[in-house]
Amino acid sequence: MTHGRTRFIAGFLVIPVLLYLVYVISPYAQAFYIAMTNWRGVNANPEFVGLENFRRLLDDSVFWTAVGHNLLLLILLPLGTISIALFFAYLLNAGGGRRGVDGVRGSGFYRVVFFFPQVLAVAIIAVLFQQVFRPDRGGMLNGPLTALGLEPIGFLSDPRIALWSVLGVLIWQAVGFYVVLFSAGMASIPQELYEAAQIDGAGRVPMFFRVTLPLLWDTVQVGWIYLGIAALDAFAVVWVMTAEQGGPDHSTTVIAAEIYRNAFDYFKFGYASAMGVVLFFFTIAFAALAMRLSRRERIEF
Amino acid sequence: MDKVSDRTTRRGARRGAHRASRQGLRRAFDRAFRRPAHRPEGQVPRRPEPSPRLSRTAVRRERKVRLGPLSHLSHAALVIWTILVVVPLAWTFLASFKSEDEIFSGAWTMPAAPRFDNWARAWDQAHVGQYFLNSVIVVAFSTFGTMLLGSMAAYVLARYRFRGNRAIYLLFVSGLAFPVYLALTPLFFVVQNIGNIPVIGPFLGLNTHGGLILVYIAYSLPFTVFFLAAFFRTLPTAVAEAAFVDGASHTRVFFQIMLPMARPGIVSVTIFNVLGQWNQYQLPLVLLSGEARDKWVLTQGIASISTSAGYDADWSALFAALSMAILPMLIIYSVFQRQIQAGLTAGAVK
């Protein structure tokens, strides 16, 4: 029996662990080493250069522009998405009904529609919005504007606006998911709590801030971390949708796009890996910080 | 920290399993007893409850009086977002039936006659049909592989005590924290080197579906193992023990007893993986290069039509291609929307 047991355990684990080590763990481990080499081109012999790549990163203005954009997205994407999603989730769950604790009519329908963008590939959405934002008469938004005789807006061609377009698309896709997520959380809040608050004379708005939000805090925290990680990524939208893949004039570029550009367009593998290492520490730091800042006493109900 | 998260995981999964029945019960209970009994004194409606025989308009009027202006505002906000979601998709669909001139002369004009040939050109000349088929092949194999290997590993890690168990579990779960870009460059060379191995190399190297499938499986394992291990821990042990007493082997207990018992969890993770792998863009971009266009997946193919498009681009075909990518998802989503919403959000509620 024990013999069979050991064989069984080993037999079940060997393939998944092997695949995982080869394709996931070994690349991650190598990345840290490659980041300290001057590897360029496919066939060159890389030399160990220590922290040279990181020192060069300090002077790389494009990289720091990208970092700045990621940080901006890191703040605005969760803030925008979570505010909008909480607002809608609250309306859907407590916006209607006599006592302000039922959902509005048709809440099921809204949930279904809002969630749909989540099912689509980010790359597809990026192509779609590239057309929506077209500067000419064929653009979904600029077509009517030019027809009215107004100046077309350079959603993707104006460096001051382009990043906001990226943010808009990211929020557009994300909101539905968090509406559903927060709705599920709100549905598990006992009705009696709302009723008690109501007897105490609380309106819908105080009820949201005093009852719903504190009880939903765990879910909001999870959402915050997910969106933060998405903001540190943002590769597909930037790479596919924006002009010059991160432009115009680097006005929308993000770290992930610079990593890809340096590795697979310029073949600077060492340098790109150094960027990856920096991004890795950003991600870890963000997750740790988010956990710490949002830690509150857990409310059991 | 780990203990705590374990506990919440377990509770979450259990709650999920019982949620449906519990909520149903609560609703029935509410309907039968609680609502009338708990109505606050001051808020007894002046009117009697609308009886089912009242007309719909009367009920609606009564509602309006109760809700006041807030309800209108909230409905307006919801309708606006609905429009924001639906209009770009509907507009794409509309444009897919327009000729190039019609697209550029006005964004919102109707086509004089629906151009079905846009769809035919996208399918054949822009190779969307080929990309579509490639996506189906890759995702079918990779999701099946992910679920098979992931559930095997998760089961062993969740239900058997042995030395190194905790270490292997943590190794898998740590993969959740790493951003993919960090691995991109070395991953490219790992796959390239595997391509140089004799015999199996040509099927698993760069520019092969086999290589992409294995990479998809490997990168889906952390979440799959994490989620399913939590799920397996919640399942009762009695059934498996009875089967062991009857002489069933470990393998047989897994495939014939535990796997069917874990069905709700398996379904959620399968949906999660199918969508995640279907929508993947960055990994195919790195692993299937421009020399292997016939191997490209859908996201990559459509993005390439758009990014490489110059002045001679076939814009009507691009809109048709977009519609082809969106439409199947719309159909699948409208049929399975409950399961899809549950499957995708299950990951976050962990």
Is it the case that residue B149 has pLDDT exceeding 90? Answer: yes
Interface test with B, best of A1, A19, A189 (most B CBs within 10 A): A19
Angle between helix axes A269-293 and A26-34 (nearest 10 degrees) is: 110
Q: What digits encode the pLDDT tens for the residues B19-37?
A: 444 444 444 434 433 333 3
Nearest to A115 by CA among B277, B93, B341, B83: B341
> What residues are paired with A102 via a beta bridge?
A96
Q: How far apart are the first and last CA of chain A?
A: 45
Please tell me the distance in Å from A138's CA to the nearest CA on chain B.
Answer: 4
Where in chain A does DSSP place strands (E)? none
Is it the case that residue A94 has pLDDT exceeding 50? Answer: yes
pLDDT of res. A295: 66
User: B5 pLDDT band (50/70/90 cuts)?
Assistant: very low
CA dist B254 and B157 (Å) reads 13
Which residues, 6 or more positions from A60, have their beta carbon under 8 angstroms from its beta carbon?
none
Asked whether the beta carbons of residue B214 and residue A138 sit closer than 8 angstroms, the reply is no
Check residues A297 and B117 and name the one with the higher pLDDT: B117
DSSP-derived secondary structure for B213-247? HHHHHHHHHHHHHHHHHHHHHHS-SHHHHHHHHTT
Q: Determine contact: A19 vs chain B, CB below 8 A.
A: yes
Nearest to B67 among A96, A118, A180 (CB): A96
Long-range CB contacts for residues A134-140, cutoff 8 Å, separation at least 24: A134/B107, A136/B104, A137/B104, A137/B105, A137/B106, A137/B107, A138/B103, A138/B104, A138/B105, A138/B106, A138/B107, A138/B315, A139/B107, A140/B87, A140/B88, A140/B91, A140/B107, A140/B108
ipTM for this prediction: 0.83
Partners of residue B168 in chain A, C-beta under 8 Å: 13, 17
Q: Hey, what CATH class is A61-293 in?
A: mainly alpha
* Alpha-carbon distance values, B177 to A195, A279, B174, B223 (Å): 41, 12, 6, 10
Please tell me the distance in Å from A57's CA to the nearest CA on chain B.
Answer: 16
Amino acid at B335: V
Q: What digits encode the pLDDT tens for the residues B292-319?
A: 788 888 888 888 887 765 555 777 888 8
pLDDT of res. B33: 36
Q: What digits encode the pLDDT tens for the residues B168-211?
A: 998 888 888 777 888 888 888 888 888 888 888 787 878 888 88
Asked whether the beta carbons of residue B318 and residue A223 sit closer than 8 angstroms, the reply is no
pLDDT of res. B6: 40
Residue whose tokens read 């976050």: B348
DSSP-derived secondary structure for A120-150? S-HHHHHHHHHHHT-SSTTSTTHHHHHHTTP
Is it the case that residue B334 has pLDDT exceeding 50? Answer: yes
Q: What digits encode the pLDDT tens for the residues A49-89?
A: 778 788 888 888 888 988 999 999 989 999 999 999 998 88
Q: Determine contact: B298 vs chain A, CB below 8 A.
A: yes
Q: What is residue B288's DSSP assignment? A: S
Pairs of CB atoms within 8 A across A/B: 294
Express as a percent the part of chain A with pLDDT over 70.
92
pLDDT of res. B29: 38
Nearest to B283 by CA among B188, B203, B194: B188
Main-chain phi, psi angles of A247, to 5 degrees: -100, -165
| Number of domains comprising chain B | 1
Q: Determine contact: A8 vs chain B, CB below 8 A.
A: yes
Partners of residue A298 in chain B, C-beta under 8 Å: none
CA dist A52 and A271 (Å) reads 9
Nearest to A180 among B71, B149, B341 (CB): B341
pLDDT of res. B13: 42
* Alpha-carbon distance values, A225 to A117, A129, A294, B81, B206 (Å): 20, 26, 10, 24, 33
Count of positions (residues) in chain A: 301
Q: What digits encode the pLDDT tens for the residues A183-232?
A: 888 877 777 777 787 777 777 777 788 777 888 887 888 888 888 888 88
Q: What digits encode the pLDDT tens for the residues A42-54?
A: 666 777 777 878 8
B49: burial class by Cβ within 10 Å (0-12, 13-18, 19+)? Answer: exposed
Asked whether the beta carbons of residue A120 and residue B329 sit closer than 8 angstroms, the reply is yes
Residue whose tokens read 């047989």: B252
**Neighbour-count burial for A208-237, b at 16+ CB within 10 Å, e otherwise:** beebbeebbbebbbbbbbbbbbbbbbbbbb
Is it the case that residue B331 has pLDDT exceeding 70? Answer: yes
What phi-psi label fits residue A13: left (phi over 0), alpha (psi between -120 and 50 degrees) or beta? alpha
**Strand, coil or helix: what is B67?**
helix
Is it the case that residue B137 has pLDDT exceeding 90? Answer: yes
Check residues B10 and B68 and name the one with the higher pLDDT: B68
pLDDT of res. A96: 55
- Mean pLDDT of the B86-92 span: 89
Q: Determine contact: A161 vs chain B, CB below 8 A.
A: no
CA dist B330 and A124 (Å) reads 13
Asked whether the beta carbons of residue A175 and residue B305 sit closer than 8 angstroms, the reply is no
Contact B73, A97 (CB under 8 A): no
Which residues, 6 or more positions from B44, have their beta carbon under 8 angstroms from its beta carbon?
none
Which residues, 6 or more positions from B66, have their beta carbon under 8 angstroms from its beta carbon?
A98
Sign of CA dihedral B281, B287, B291, B296: negative
Chain A: residue nearest B45 by CA? Answer: A98
- Mean pLDDT of the B66-86 span: 77
Q: What digits encode the pLDDT tens for the residues A107-127?
A: 778 888 888 888 888 888 998
Which residues, 6 or more positions from A204, have their beta carbon under 8 angstroms from its beta carbon?
A94, A95, A100, B70
Is it the case that residue A172 has pLDDT exceeding 90? Answer: yes
Please tell me the distance in Å from A240's CA to the nearest CA on chain B.
Answer: 6
Asked whether the beta carbons of residue A123 and residue B105 sit closer than 8 angstroms, the reply is no
Check residues B41 and B112 and name the one with the higher pLDDT: B112
Interface test with A, best of B1, B34, B146, B185 (most A CBs within 10 A): B185
- Residue B234 structural domain: 124-349
Asked whether the beta carbons of residue A263 and residue B184 sit closer than 8 angstroms, the reply is yes
Partners of residue B77 in chain A, C-beta under 8 Å: 87-88, 91
> Considering chain A, what is the average pLDDT of its residues?
82
Main-chain phi, psi angles of A39, to 5 degrees: -60, 120
Residue spans of the domains in chain A: they are: 61-293
Q: What digits encode the pLDDT tens for the residues A20-41?
A: 999 988 988 888 888 888 777 7
Check residues B16 and A198 and name the one with the higher pLDDT: A198
* Alpha-carbon distance values, A235 to A170, A232, B39 (Å): 11, 9, 53
Q: Determine contact: A13 vs chain B, CB below 8 A.
A: yes
Q: Determine contact: A116 vs chain B, CB below 8 A.
A: yes
Nearest to A112 among B152, B188, B337 (CB): B337
pLDDT of res. A95: 61
Q: What CATH number did the domain enclosing B195 receive?
A: 1.10.3720.10
In terms of average pLDDT, the best of A9-18, B135-144, B164-173 is B135-144
Q: Determine contact: A266 vs chain B, CB below 8 A.
A: no
User: B38 pLDDT band (50/70/90 cuts)?
Assistant: very low
Q: Determine contact: B178 vs chain A, CB below 8 A.
A: yes
Nearest to A115 by CA among B241, B342, B22: B342
Q: Determine contact: A236 vs chain B, CB below 8 A.
A: yes
Residue whose tokens read 């209970």: B29
Asked whether the beta carbons of residue B182 and residue A4 sit closer than 8 angstroms, the reply is no
Nearest to A263 among B84, B185, B214 (CB): B185
CA dist A220 and A293 (Å) reads 13
